[in-house]
Amino acid sequence: MKEKMSQLAKKIKINEKTINYLLIFILGFLVGVAVKTEAKKRVTIGYGDYLVSEMKQGFDLTKPEMPSAPSEQPVPDGNEAREAPAPDGAATQ
């Protein structure tokens, strides 16, 4: 039996380095499966997590309103301010 195993090992060229790599691969696979299983229990991501929650707002963007126009009276410059009547109705000269 030992002769068959050693002949098989020589035929496949299995040495200690190959066995170490194989064991590391198997260990990594098992650790990955364990981590995935535990994460599946604790982490939940559903369809609703990707949606924005609806918030009530004081304005509606689907109904555009006309912006309020600035006052239609022109801003008085220095010359017009002197010609403006006095608030009490008296004429100024």
DSSP 88: T
Domain assignment present for residue 67? The answer is no
SS3 at position 5? helix
Does 55 reside within a domain? no
CB of 27 closer than 8 Å to CB of 34: no
Task: Give the pLDDT confidence of 13-56 residue by residue, as tens digits.
Answer: 778 888 899 999 999 999 999 999 998 888 877 777 777 777 77
Q: Cα(54)–Cα(87) distance, rounded to whole angstroms?
A: 53
Chain centroid to CA 51: 11
Q: What mean pLDDT value characterizes the chain? A: 75
As for how many domains the chain has, the answer is: 1
Residue 55 is classified by DSSP as -
Residue 35 lies inside a defined structural domain of this protein: yes
